[in-house]
Amino acid sequence: MKALSDFSLVELERRLAAWGCKTSHARRLLLEYYAGAGDVDWGRLKLPQRLKERLSSECVMLGSAVAMRQVADDGTIKLLLTLVDGKAVESVVMPAYQEDRVAGCVSSQVGCAMACDFCATTQSGFERNLSAGEMVEQFLHLRREAKAAGRRLQTVVFMGMGEPMLNLENVLEAARRMAGEAMGALGWRQITVSTVGIVPGIEAMTEADLNINLAVSLHAPDDATRAKLIPSGRRFGVEEILAAAGRYQAKQGRPVSIQYCLLGGVNDSVEHARQLAALLAGRRMHVNLLHYNPTGASLSGRTYESSSTAAADAFIAELRARGIIAHFRRSRGRGIDAACGQLRYRMAGAS
């Protein structure tokens, strides 16, 4: 049975027409559904009885369900959602800087094929792409969590499980439904798609021209270090990735953010910071530094550690001294399985 999240506005209008109902009900229904975080207040939304009956016999509100929920001391909430085929994905909602807002993080695939060595998601391999509706449902669950906490879901980043560029068509359709005025009404600039640097995906996003943000997970300033951390780094070099990101930035007119996870003794030396600054010189991109959340032994059998405070401070100071705009992203979710993939991995009995 289809969930309401599976429909674009045009698809729902077509379905209503096939049922012999007025297509104008589709817009009102979807607005109510998204405003209600995946639920419809039938008392407020007046629809013909015949349409309500068709909807309840042929559609469900949500196809996914919360299987597990973890809450950290800082208010971060991590959800494990089960999908219609029994697969599971993770979504996270984190307190934002403003007290009345939260930021959401959604997954784009079940598992991941990219095999980044420091990542828990990839340890169980790739299973399948998520549909646009399944990504929309994560957004709705997170909006529901935000509402329950008296807050507003302000931003969404596709930075959970999976590589969004390898499921880009569905990711962009989900973004349209989340952002568009007729549906989620989140706003285009509130959405960010993050990639480990799949150049054809960045080019396709440039072509799509949706006015959403791009984040590139670089994690190393040179191809050799990067290839050890991210096997896909062998396919696309850092120069090629940044050139593609630069074209996206030029088209959108807003800085691309460079994500850089500091791993103790791996990519966190002052020399690495100098190389990164040289690489980004003149590009007007911003650097987001991340503290690593340890996930145990990696695919290659290595155990990564987060950088020491002294190394992290020296790294950011070097970047700033060289004119690069850089910030630390606040570390969230201490005390829960905060790194992407950990909760699902735990449910599967792997840890």
Helix (H, G, I), strand (E, B) or coil at 233: helix
Q: Does 340 bind ligand SF4 (CB under 6 A)?
A: yes
Which of 119, 146, 175, 262 binds ligand SF4 (CB under 6 A)? It is 119
Question: Which residues 261-280 are close enough to bind ligand SF4 by CB under 6 A?
Answer: none
Q: Does 171 bind ligand SF4 (CB under 6 A)?
A: no
Query: Please, are residues 94 and 146 in contact by the beta-carbon 8 Å criterion?
Result: no
For helices 238-252 and 270-280, the axis angle rounded to 10 degrees is: 50
Q: Which residues of 61-85 are buried (b: 16+ CB within 10 A; e: fewer)?
A: bbbbeeebebebeeebbbbbbbbbe
Clarify whether 90 is annotated catalytic. Answer: yes
Which of 5, 91, 122, 293 binds ligand SF4 (CB under 6 A)? It is 122
Which of 116, 135, 215, 258 binds ligand SF4 (CB under 6 A)? It is 116
Clarify whether 173 is annotated catalytic. Answer: no
Binding mask 123-162 for ligand SF4 (x = CB under 6 A): --------------------------------------xx
Burial of 331 by CB count in 10 Å (0-12 exposed, 13-18 middle, 19+ buried)?
Answer: middle
Residue tagged active-site, from 90, 134, 145, 318: 90
Q: Does 114 bind ligand SF4 (CB under 6 A)?
A: yes
Taking contact as CB under 6 A, which single stretch among the options 72-80, 95-103, 114-122, 137-145 is the one that binds ligand SF4? 114-122
Q: Check residue 292 and give left, alpha or beta (phi > 0: left; psi -120 to 50: alpha).
A: beta
Helix (H, G, I), strand (E, B) or coil at 204: helix
Tokens of 350: 């792997």
Question: Which residues 94-113 are close enough to bind ligand SF4 by CB under 6 A?
Answer: 112
* Dist. CA 311–CA 314, nearest whole Å: 5
Q: Which residue numbers are catalytic?
A: 90, 340
Residue numbers of the site for ligand SF4 (CB under 6 A)?
Answer: 112, 114, 116, 119, 121-122, 161-163, 196, 340
